Amino acid sequence: GAVVSQHPSWVICKSGTSVKIECRSLDFQATTMFWYRQFPKQSLMLMATSNEGSKATYEQGVEKDKFLINHASLTLSTLTVTSAHPEDSSFYICSAIGRVQETQYFGPGTRLLVL
């Protein structure tokens, strides 16, 4: 149990385009989802916390207009990188927790490359 999926796993896009990443909890209802960014050989950096039905809470320094987060249902949260630029290239990972889970469970990550 407690499986989290992400789609797509890989995305390559041109600079200036927008990219949407989906995070789904497959076998539980996720009351909270977290979005992280990870650079090579570095730790996970929390970008925002998303609660179902409410606006996401962004960490300091994360542009909310650039990284749009929507948590419309208890099983789906989306991260949209708007007007992507090469510096947005990174590994994006979500995690989710529900009412009965004892910890956060991570998705497999999405590797974004902006050309």
Partner 1 sequence: GENVEQHPSTLSVQEGDSAVIKCTYSDSASNYFPWYKQELGKRPQLIIDIRSNVGEKKDQRIAVTLNKTAKHFSLHITETQPEDSAVYFCAASISTGNQFYFGTGTSLTVIP
Residue 102 lies near partner 1 (rule: CB under 8 A): yes
Dist CA 87 CA 85 (whole Å):
5
Residues 43-82 that bind partner 1 (CB under 8 A): 43-44, 46, 49
Cα Rg of the chain (Å, integer): 13
Q: What are the distances in angstroms from CA 15 to CA 11, 21, 36, 90, 110?
A: 12, 16, 21, 14, 17
Which one, 32 or 70, has the nearer CB to partner 1? 32
Q: How far is the CB of 65 from partner 1 (least distance, A)?
A: 21
Task: Name the CA dihedral angle for 40, 42, 48, 52, rounded to a multiple of 10 degrees.
Answer: 80
Contact 80, 65 (CB under 8 A): no
Q: How far is the CB of 49 from partner 1 (least distance, A)?
A: 6
Provide the 3-class DSSP secondary structure of residue 86. helix
Residue 112 lies near partner 1 (rule: CB under 8 A): no
Residue 106 lies near partner 1 (rule: CB under 8 A): yes
Single residue of 7, 20, 66, 111 touching partner 1 by CB under 8 A: 111
Choose the binding region for partner 1 from 20-28, 61-69, 76-84, 104-112 (rule: CB under 8 A): 104-112
Residue numbers of the site for partner 1 (CB under 8 A)? 31-32, 34, 41-44, 46, 49, 91, 93, 97, 101-109, 111
